[in-house]
A and B are shown apart, each in its own frame.
Chain A
Amino acid sequence: MKTAVADTVERGPAVPRRRRFAPAGRASIVDRVALAIAGLMVLIALVGPLLAPHDPYSVNLGQALHAPSADHWFGTDANGRDIFSRVLYGARVSLLATVIVIAVATLIGTIVGTLAALGGRVADEVLMRICDIGLSLPAIILALGLAAALGPGLRSAVIALCLTWWPGYARLVRTLVRDVRDAEYVEAARTLGVSTPRLVFRHVLPNSLDTLYVQTTLDVSAVMLVISGLSFVGVGAQVPSAEWGAMIAGAAGNLTNGWWAVVFPGLAIMLTAVSFNLVGDWLRVRNDPTLRGRRS
């Protein structure tokens, strides 16, 4: 209909374009709780060590495997270390590793994706084939290989994840940039005589990366789970380190007589993963007007 480009702003009641009047991606209670938890996790990652009541690394075998109490809220592990303090410290390790992976992958993915979308057919072909190779590498195999080459540790896991995670972003960015590339306002900027770098940074990228931000938020949980998983199987953070996955790995043997040493770090992983997922989902709905109001 012609009214799709209608003159409705300053007039009286307009024919409702459904999307505009649908509940405009407002945060529901669940969304707010998720936002609060995600925010809390980030806060803990920043200031957690200041709040920790005990040293997370001090071994005290006399206090081994104490159940949760007033002194040790989450109990102690087999070495008598305070689990509450370790979970607080672990937030920094887990989230920092996750943020590094996502930041690096986003940066590489954006550069490669933009070059592929704007650089002509040859560049597109070459870069996308490289992406295919990256996508075909399982993170865990690469991590095992790197662990063998560089020695096991969080560093190997992070490098392995960066190498396997960026191609997904590159493909996404390529699609997003191609959509915007032919938009009329980009053509308008071209006819104005805007230079190519300015065209890319001022007109194309700001309008194409919304979806990418949402994707990265959604990926926080996925990356964190993989890092914890790698730590759990022994190619990520190593056992004494206060990383949630490594904590679970170290305590798994005592599950029957010290469930708290597994459950609390597990809960921390789950809460963080779920809350970031919900926040990502909420951002997605908020940014995409066609999805507004669809969610019950």
Chain B
Amino acid sequence: MTPLLELDDLRASFPGPDGPVEVLRGVTMSVAAGEKVALVGESGSGKSVTARAVLRLDRDASLSGRVLLDGKDVLGLSERAMRDVRGARIGLVFQDPLASLNPVMTIGWQIMQPLLIRGVKKKEARRRGVELLGRLGVRDADRRFDDYPHQFSGGMRQRVVIAIAVIAEPALLIADEPTTALDVRVQAQVLTLLRELAAERSMSVLLITHDLGIVAGFADRVVVMRHGAPVEQGVVDDIYARPQHPYTRGLLASVPRIDDDPSRRLSTVDEAALEGEVR
């Protein structure tokens, strides 16, 4: 069976003052249909660039390698064909819900857009939008449909962003740090919603995050990235129980846990020990 999304030696570089800077140095990974995969790494690991490369969002990035969606390479697609991929096949949720919503349009208008541009009738689009918003836990969805983004709290805004991303029923949802700006209780609610939504629609999810805690409760598989390439990937339980790579081990040991004895000293990533291994 071909996976839904397959990255094969994906490389990305950006123009720099002294020539191109390679930011992704060969990312090979895949997301199967209905699978939830987490892409984990610290800042500078290239996890966000990977997600953006799949949708070709960075115009000044030069990409090489292959990004196969349903077996077809999207790197070769025209800009017009790419527009169909974004939204219809792949939905996207960013970290900052306020920045990704248009402040002068009602949230209803924004939720309906992906349907309207694909020829769905306005009445039908509104019905589906209100239903989805209600499903995402926005109370009084019908009335609030005509409100503006600033009238919503951070957590509610993120639900609106999720609604926009999934209204056209994409096969894959890419969520880039979707809960980092949210308080811990709202984060838990949003993650639960994402999990339920993925199950109901057998939608695949690629979750980009720095938080090893939320990965454990969300993903089926995890890809650990560092310096623009995966250092380790596998089933979540295996990676957490038996991390093979010293970087993964260091990362897991540096997370403080509320279920741990606080007198145990946190260990940190041993940069020196990693030096030889990375390149």
Contact = CB atoms under 8 A, between A and B. Distances in A.
Contacts of A21: 14-17, 21
- The dominant DSSP class at the B interface is loop
B48 A15 contact: yes
A6 B210 CA distance: 12
Contact of B25 (A1, A13, A22): A13
A2 interface: yes
A12 interface: yes
Contacts of B25: 13
Contact of B49 (A2, A15, A23, A24): A15
Contacts of B60: 18
A7 interface: yes
B227 A12 contact: yes
Interface residues of B, number: 24
A24 B18 CA distance: 10
Contact of A6 (B44, B46, B49): B44
Q: How large is the interface on A (under 10, 10 to 19, 20 to 34, 35 or more residues)?
A: 10 to 19
Given A12-B227, A12-B228, A13-B21, A2 B177 contact: yes
A11 interface: yes
Contacts, number: 59
Nearest to A9: B44
A15 B43 contact: yes
5 contacts: A11-B227, A12-B228, A13-B21, A14-B43, A21-B15
Contacts of B228: 12-13
Interface in B1-56: 14-17, 21-23, 25, 42-46, 48-49
A3 interface: yes
Closest 10 CB pairs of A and B: A6-B43, A12-B227, A3-B43, A14-B44, A21-B16, A16-B14, A8-B44, A11-B44, A24-B17, A13-B23
A2 B47 CA distance: 13
Interface of A: 1-3, 6-8, 11-16, 18, 21-24, 26
Nearest to B61: A16
B96 interface: yes
Nearest to A23: B17
B95 interface: yes
A3 to B, nearest CB: 4
Given A2-B210, A16-B21, 7 more contacts: A1-B177, A2-B180, A11-B44, A13-B21, A13-B228, A14-B43, A21-B17
Query: Which of B16, B227, B228 lies at the interface centre, i.e. has the most chain A CB atoms within 10 A of its CB?
Result: B16
A18 B43 CA distance: 15
Contact of B23 (A7, A16, A26): A16
B180 to A, nearest CB: 6
Contacts of A12: 44, 227-228, 278
B48 A13 contact: no
Given A13-B22, A21-B17, A23-B17, A8 B43 contact: yes
Contacts of A3: 43-44, 48
Interface in B65-119: 95-96
B42 A7 contact: yes
Interface of A is mostly: loop
A100 B211 CA distance: 59
A6 B49 CA distance: 15
A22 B45 CA distance: 20
A54 B14 CA distance: 59
Contacts of A11: 44, 227
B44 A13 contact: yes
Contacts of A16: 14, 16, 21, 23
Interface in B192-240: 210, 227-228
A16 B180 CA distance: 20
A61 B69 CA distance: 88
A68 B132 CA distance: 83
Contacts of B17: 21-24, 26
A21 B44 CA distance: 14
Contacts of A1: 48, 95-96, 177, 180
A69 to B, nearest CB: 50
A16 B17 CA distance: 11
B268 to A, nearest CB: 12
A25 to B, nearest CB: 10
B182 to A, nearest CB: 12
A11 B247 CA distance: 14
A18 to B, nearest CB: 8
A58 to B, nearest CB: 55
Nearest to B24: A13
B188 to A, nearest CB: 19
Nearest to B95: A1
A13 B228 CA distance: 7
Given A2-B43, A3-B48, A13 B177 contact: no
A14 B43 CA distance: 8
A128 to B, nearest CB: 31
Contacts of B96: 1
A207 to B, nearest CB: 25
Contacts of A8: 43-44
